[in-house]
Amino acid sequence: MAEGRRTGGTRSWWGWGTQEAALSPDEVSTLVERTRLMLPGHDFTDHPPPAPEDLPVPAPRIRVPDSLAALFSSDVTDRLSHSRGKAFRDVVRNLHGDVTHVADLVARPATEQDVVDILDFCGSANIAVVPYGGGSSVVGGVEPRVDGPAAILDLERLDEVLEVDRVSRAARIQAGALGPHLERRLRPAGLTLRHFPQSFEFSTLGGWLATRAGGHFATLYTHIDDLTESIRVVTPAGTSTSRRLPGSGAGPSPDRLFLGSEGTLGVITEAWMRLQDRPRFGVTASIGFDDFGAAVAATRTIAQSGLHPANCRLLDPAESRINAGASLADSLLIVAFESADHPVDAWLERAVEIAADHGGSVLSERRRGADDDRDSSATWRSSFIRMPYRRDALARRGVIVETFETACTWDRFETFHAAVTAAAQEAVDRVCGTGVVTCRFTHVYPDGPAPYYGVFAPGRWGSTVAQWDEIKQAVSEAIATNGGTITHHHAVGRDHRPWYDRQRPDPFAAALRAAKDVLDPAGVLNPGVLIDP
């Protein structure tokens, strides 16, 4: 366990991040006052978390052999904090002291052989094993929703950057490395993975790979998949190592079977990742549009232009107001280019020209020279990265604050967006009386956007999970019916299963189950995720 695991504070067992980084009382007041404007009449009474030691957590049902005992923890707070992800419904259930499906033990392998030994033991004893990176799942991906005994397999001690290949710009990194740690280790070589999901501080390479996480780049390298050169996976049937290759057409890609397998086929222990040179040039423009449809058309044209912006984030008016602090009725398009090799002004100029053709006007522009050390994405990132703390503060006060995300092709976006927004608004109004639905594009492709929706609604304390579940059901149906994906980058976990099962072609489902049966014959790996137990 290296320094990188030290997240600069005490991890919250019930909510996001560290206790120390949670909002200050002043920040909470400001947030509450701002939210009150949006949700007038809501009761903002605070419901602080219970003390873990006061909760009726059942005793562990697992007897670990002496040879492995040192790898397992039965500490109650440890078990509680590892048994749920960090979705709104996870946080609220924690706040209520709900102890359903608490894992019996938490295992922390120190070596890959430990992983093998733990899988052997759990397989022979029929103990469910949930591979665990940073625990930031928002889809029930790390929650052992099983009747029998279950262990969490936390990879945190396998977190080293083992090799750096400067020439090919790649590094061999252990799966348990958290974002900031691996970036610190790559920095001396002038390299960066440049994968910055919102969970960056509290999620790991292995988690990103297992869930096909979406990251920094709005175009081209949107998912961690594209940054993956080779993967090493410990399965109950043996260890799988793919060859380091920049490209290959030798049969179906082995890596692509494990990418997105969410801990059901094996435990990813390390990977060779493709890196970037640290950018020296950066340009960003914020562009306002009176009309969301025109903004969408501009965004599509930029996505199809071959300019490949690093950032291309479209915010609808509600999103602009709430999350970019704009006092506008405008849609806001943030376009950015970056390069380690050359100035990218010409690229931005053309993107701005396209936006102008669709009625967009530049609100601000920022250029960064070769000698400017700041990272153009840093400012936005620090605000973005603190959003989950704000979510927690509101969740404690009975506000329903959650997001859902998808992707669809451009031709159907207008209908799709209208249907999904209508379904969300209708559900919010029905369930909560009122509420706000926002939309932004997190990633854009030549053939379609990845819209990301936010919901803010006044919940009834004690019912907010059930209320959210009802809203989620309605929006998921709308997404499925209108041909979107049930997830663009949040993964499937347990919570997206009904819609994932409809989306997934049946013959592929049969193939995946057959693969699972041969790689995990005891069926102990993350039961219920992707495939029925």
Site for its own copies in 449-508 (CB under 8 A): 449-450, 483-492, 496, 500, 503-508
The interface with its own copies within residues 188-227 (CB under 8 A) comprises 211-214, 220, 222-223
Distance CA 89, CA 84 (A): 9
The interface with its own copies within residues 99-158 (CB under 8 A) comprises none
453 is known to lie in a ligand binding site = no
* Residue 162 C-beta: closest distance to its own copies, Å: 15
Type of residue found at 178: L
Looking up tokens 């153009």 gives 376
Exposure string for 303-339, b = 16+ CB within 10 A, e = fewer:
bebebebbbbbbbbbbbbbbbbebebebbbbbbbbbb
- Specify the residue, 35 or 261, whose C-beta has the smaller distance to its own copies: 261
Helix (H) or strand (E) run with residue 300 in it: helix 292-303
- Specify the residue, 430 or 502, whose C-beta has the smaller distance to its own copies: 502
Contact by Cβ (8 Å): 293, 333: no
* Residue 22 C-beta: closest distance to its own copies, Å: 29
Looking up tokens 């995300």 gives 405
* Residue 165 C-beta: closest distance to its own copies, Å: 5
Please state the separation of Cα 235 from the chain's center in Å. 24
How many residues touch its own copies under the rule CB under 8 A: the total is: 97
Distance CA 323, CA 314 (A): 12
Contact by Cβ (8 Å): 438, 397: no
**Of 221, 452, 453, 500, which one is the catalytic site residue?**
452
Coil, helix or strand for 188?
helix
Of the candidates 222, 197, 216, the one whose C-alpha atom is nearest the C-alpha of residue 446 is: 222
- From candidates 19, 168, 361, 415, binder to its own copies by CB under 8 A: 168
- Specify the residue, 258 or 468, whose C-beta has the smaller distance to its own copies: 258
190 is known to lie in a ligand binding site = no
The backbone torsions φ and ψ at residue 531, rounded to the nearest 5 degrees and listed phi first, read -135, 145
- Specify the residue, 173 or 457, whose C-beta has the smaller distance to its own copies: 173
Taking CB under 8 A as the binding criterion, the range among 26-34, 72-80, 127-135, 252-260 that sits at the site for its own copies is: 252-260
332 is known to lie in a ligand binding site = no
Looking up tokens 């479209």 gives 314
* Residue 384 C-beta: closest distance to its own copies, Å: 19
The backbone torsions φ and ψ at residue 275, rounded to the nearest 5 degrees and listed phi first, read -115, 170
Coil, helix or strand for 174?
strand
Taking CB under 8 A as the binding criterion, the range among 67-75, 175-183, 193-201, 446-454 that sits at the site for its own copies is: 446-454
What are the strands, taking DSSP E only, across 348-445? 361-368, 399-405, 436-445
The interface with its own copies within residues 348-387 (CB under 8 A) comprises 350, 354
Contact by Cβ (8 Å): 72, 127: no
Q: Does 325 bind its own copies (CB under 8 A)?
A: no
134 is known to lie in a ligand binding site = yes
500 in active site: no
- Specify the residue, 331 or 476, whose C-beta has the smaller distance to its own copies: 476
Task: Please provide the DSSP assignment of 236-272 as one string.
Answer: TTEEEE----S---SSS-HHHHHTT-TTSS-EEEEEE
Q: Does 175 bind its own copies (CB under 8 A)?
A: no
Contact by Cβ (8 Å): 342, 282: no
* Residue 236 C-beta: closest distance to its own copies, Å: 9
- From candidates 257, 267, 335, 457, binder to its own copies by CB under 8 A: 257
Contact by Cβ (8 Å): 395, 464: yes
- Specify the residue, 399 or 407, whose C-beta has the smaller distance to its own copies: 407
Taking CB under 8 A as the binding criterion, the range among 59-67, 89-97, 247-255, 469-477 that sits at the site for its own copies is: 247-255
* Residue 420 C-beta: closest distance to its own copies, Å: 15
Coil, helix or strand for 401?
strand
- From candidates 6, 61, 187, 342, binder to its own copies by CB under 8 A: 342
- From candidates 170, 428, 465, 525, binder to its own copies by CB under 8 A: 170
Q: Does 167 bind its own copies (CB under 8 A)?
A: yes
Of the candidates 259, 1, 271, the one whose C-alpha atom is nearest the C-alpha of residue 163 is: 271
* Residue 443 C-beta: closest distance to its own copies, Å: 6
The backbone torsions φ and ψ at residue 462, rounded to the nearest 5 degrees and listed phi first, read 100, -20
135 is known to lie in a ligand binding site = yes
The interface with its own copies within residues 292-321 (CB under 8 A) comprises 300, 304-308
- Specify the residue, 85 or 449, whose C-beta has the smaller distance to its own copies: 449
**Tokens matching residue 371:** 């000698």
Taking CB under 8 A as the binding criterion, the range among 199-207, 422-430, 438-446, 469-477 that sits at the site for its own copies is: 438-446
- Specify the residue, 44 or 453, whose C-beta has the smaller distance to its own copies: 453
**Tokens matching residue 244:** 């380091």
* Residue 461 C-beta: closest distance to its own copies, Å: 33
The interface with its own copies within residues 386-425 (CB under 8 A) comprises 407-411
262 is known to lie in a ligand binding site = yes
Pairing of strands 72-73, 105-107: antiparallel
The interface with its own copies within residues 30-59 (CB under 8 A) comprises none
- From candidates 18, 74, 253, 323, binder to its own copies by CB under 8 A: 253
Distance CA 152, CA 164 (A): 30
- Specify the residue, 53 or 506, whose C-beta has the smaller distance to its own copies: 506
The interface with its own copies within residues 504-533 (CB under 8 A) comprises 504-508, 510-515, 517-519, 530
402 is known to lie in a ligand binding site = no
Give Cβ neighbours of residue 157 (< 8 Å, ≥ 6 apart): 1, 5, 108, 109, 110, 176
484 is known to lie in a ligand binding site = no
Which positions make up the binding site for FAD? Answer: 131-137, 262-268
Active site residues: 452
Which positions make up the binding site? Answer: 131-137, 262-268, 391
